[in-house]
A and B are shown apart, each in its own frame.
Chain A
Amino acid sequence: MRQTLFRWLPQIALVILLALLLGWMGHNVLENMRGRGIHAGFDFLRDPAGFEIGEGLLDYDASQPLWRAFLTGTLNTLRVGLPAIVAATLLGALIGLGRLAEHPVPRKLCGALVETLRNIPLLLQLLMCYFALTSLLPEASEAIAPLPGFLLSKGGLFLPALDCTQTCMLDLPAAEGFGISGGWSLSPEFLAVLIALSLYSAVFIAEIVRGGIQSVSRGQIDAARALGLRPLQVLRVVIAPLALRAIVPPLGNQYLNLIKNSSLAVAVGYPELVSVANTSLNQTGRAFECIVIVMAVYLSLSLLTALLMNRYNTRVALRGTR
């Protein structure tokens, strides 16, 4: 009896203390908001937003309710996060393999790349990318064409797009006056976030890939070679399936980090969730509600990613070990 009391009393006291602290803070929030003439609650989400969002997947304008603005922001987070995950995985695998190359030159180059990018804050890399894209590139009228049909300038990257309104045809971007018309445009903000996020995550993924491949025992590879498999076949048939087991769990963590890091896009004005929340926070003064929404969305994104990665992990994991 005394044992049970001794176990539960401190815990109950801790919970009461926490509840008191939270209650006190909640009371303060209500008091402060009353002082500023704002009442709490999420009903403000139905009010017209009153600010424009530069780009997005939805039709959105300033007269639409605020929740549409938050939805546009969330979709923008995914719009840059998902391509960045794909790009970072591919680049990371390449750099990771490069670090294991037998020839010292690619090995040293990839090593230097990893050590450089890993030790510089992502925010700085993002700002650098954005500056390079908006200040060092030529004006839209003198856009450079890295590939035929692609135009790169201060206004962003213009890609050929498939236009299927009447008959399907390729819509090529062309310089027109001071701007570029036609094609599929990607803003410099989007590009900066995409490039910086992919590169930064790629070097972390490269280290995971390298560790995963190095965890494959030497005997497996020797055996595969003895069977007469070519080096690329060894990689594909023997190393990759074995290495994936060590790679997938930390890879999932990197994807979570990437999604969370996409919030830095607020620094270059790409209208993702945090940026939209920041604007609406400044406009409505609803600091508490806006921050709660941001946190809730990121938490659900994190949970979703963790769920998907766990699914995939059970598929690649050794049968019988889980």
Chain B
Amino acid sequence: MIPMIRFPRKRTIFWTLLAGALLWPIFSWAVLHAIWGADLEACRAARGVGACWGVIVEKHRLLFFGRYPFAEQWRPLIATLLIVAVLGLATWRRLWQPRFAVLALITLSIATLLMLGGLASLSFVPTKLWGGLPLTLLISLGSTLLAFPFAILLALGRRSRLPLLRQLCTLYIELVRGVPLISLLFMAAFLFPLLLPAQWRPDILPRVVFTIAAFAAAYLAEVIRGGLQAVPSGQYTAALAIGMTWWQATRHIVLPQALRTALPALVNSFVGIFKDSSLISIVSLHELTGALAISLGGDAEWRSFYLEGYLFIALIYWIFCYALSCSARRLESGLRY
């Protein structure tokens, strides 16, 4: 990094004092004077002086798993661990092959089935009881996987020589990118039941996953298009010269290179989708953000410690997003051969 703006070194004392003045109250509130146990009296006494992390201890099950039946919460726990494992593997470049998508899909289906139940000796848990971290993970990963093939087709379509196809794909991408996700989610909540025949009543969860996938596909398509543009046209010409058809050349020569180039940007898009999944709490699904509302909103005693709850949820989001963007950066630096 090239430092551009000169500050004389001798201002160290000034900067240190300024940083101290900014950070000390936060440290004092969050660590020094904080209450760590689920002790309501102590929390009330420390109000305004120290944080009450006891609210997390008291409500952690509701925060993590929402209204999922208490005795069955090992199921969402295993589902969460499975999805986290897939996400962890996904940042390993060696594994980025088509086969990995199949593995992710299988893991996701196992996690969903585990949460849903109704098989073997597992009791059936309707999706309206799902919540918390597993729901956030399921929705963000599920919609990304669903969006991915669609995004590849859209990106190819937008670069196609066929005019009608190209314009349709461009229209879709620009239309979706021009409107906020929340308006699409309202569409999923209110308009989907109108678009389908009256006797079809799809559950809200698949409707939302489908909508986020349709939204994410437009953004992923632009990222993949960037990757496609980075592939030298000689690659394609050479593939045609050895007798490949357009589909073969795209599938075996162009797409693998394009996706490899686009990989860091794809991971960053996933971070965006992960953060955007918090919006579904507005259409009354209780993922992490919504789970906080049901665990504290109805509790008159702990309700005054909402801020600590928000910070804790923010920390969970932050850990996932930061880890993923770090791995994106690592992938990017590994890309410069």
Residues of A at under 8 Å CB distance from B? 7-8, 10-12, 14-15, 18, 25, 28-29, 31-33, 35, 97, 100-103, 105-106, 109, 115-116, 118-125, 127-128, 131-132, 135-136, 213-214, 216, 218, 221, 231, 235, 239, 260-261, 263-264, 266-267, 274, 277-278, 281, 287-288, 291, 294-295, 298-299, 302-303
Contacts and interface: CB of A to CB of B under 8 A. Distances in A.
Contact of B3 (A101, A115, A235, A299): A101
A136 B198 contact: no
Listed residue (B11, B12, B310) with the most chain A CB atoms within 10 angstroms of its CB: B310
Contact of A274 (B4, B5, B182, B289): B182
B190 A281 contact: yes
Contacts of A131: 306-307, 310
A218 B186 contact: no
B310 A263 contact: no
B183 A263 contact: yes
Contacts of A29: 194-195
Given A260-B179, A263-B180, A135 B304 contact: yes
A218 B7 contact: no
Nearest to B197: A28
A31 B6 contact: no
Contacts, number: 168
Interface string B131-156: 00000000000000000000000000
A103 B186 contact: no
B9 A103 contact: yes
B127 interface: no
For chain B, which range describes its interface: under 10, 10 to 19, 20 to 34, or 35 or more residues? 35 or more
Contacts of A8: 164
Given A103-B12, A263-B180, 15 more contacts: A7-B162, A8-B164, A14-B165, A15-B164, A100-B5, A101-B3, A101-B5, A103-B7, A103-B9, A103-B15, A109-B22, A120-B318, A120-B321, A124-B317, A287-B194
Given A128-B310, A128-B314, A260-B180, A123 B279 contact: yes
Contacts of A120: 275, 314, 317-318, 321
Interface string B1-28: 1111111010110011011001000000
B281 interface: yes
A119 B325 contact: yes
For chain B, what secondary structure do more than half of its interface residues adopt (helix, strand, loop), or is it mixed?
A: helix
Given A214-B2, A221-B4, A295-B179, A281 B186 contact: yes
Contacts of A31: 197-198
Nearest to A122: B275
Interface in B288-337: 289, 304, 306-307, 310-311, 313-314, 317-318, 321-322, 325
10 contacts: A97-B5, A102-B6, A105-B12, A105-B16, A120-B275, A123-B282, A135-B307, A214-B4, A263-B183, A281-B190
B1 A214 contact: yes
Given A124-B278, A124-B289, A291-B186, A103 B11 contact: yes
B256 interface: no
Contacts of A12: 164
A67 to B, nearest CB: 18
Nearest to A132: B307
Interface of B: 1-7, 9, 11-12, 15-16, 18-19, 22, 162-165, 168, 175, 178-183, 186-187, 190-191, 193-198, 271, 275-276, 278-279, 281-282, 289, 304, 306-307, 310-311, 313-314, 317-318, 321-322, 325
A8 to B, nearest CB: 8
A274 B180 CA distance: 10
Given A128-B310, A267-B282, A278 B6 contact: no
Contact of A288 (B1, B175, B194): B194
CB-based closest 7 A-B pairs? A119-B321, A105-B15, A287-B190, A263-B180, A121-B278, A11-B164, A102-B3
B182 A119 contact: no
A109 to B, nearest CB: 6
Nearest to A120: B314
B182 A263 contact: yes
A24 B178 CA distance: 25
Contacts of A287: 186, 190-191, 194
Nearest to A294: B183
A24 B236 CA distance: 39
Nearest to A116: B318
A28 B178 CA distance: 26
Given A124-B314, A231-B6, A291-B191, A264 B182 contact: yes
A119 B317 contact: yes
A102 B7 CA distance: 6
Contact of A231 (B5, B15, B178, B306): B5
A8 B181 CA distance: 34
Contacts of A239: 4
Contacts of B325: 118-119
A127 B15 contact: no
A35 to B, nearest CB: 6
Contacts of B162: 7, 10-11
Contacts of B318: 116, 119-120
B192 to A, nearest CB: 9
Contacts of B279: 123, 264
Contacts of A221: 4
Nearest to B190: A287
Nearest to A287: B190
Contacts of B310: 124, 127-128, 131
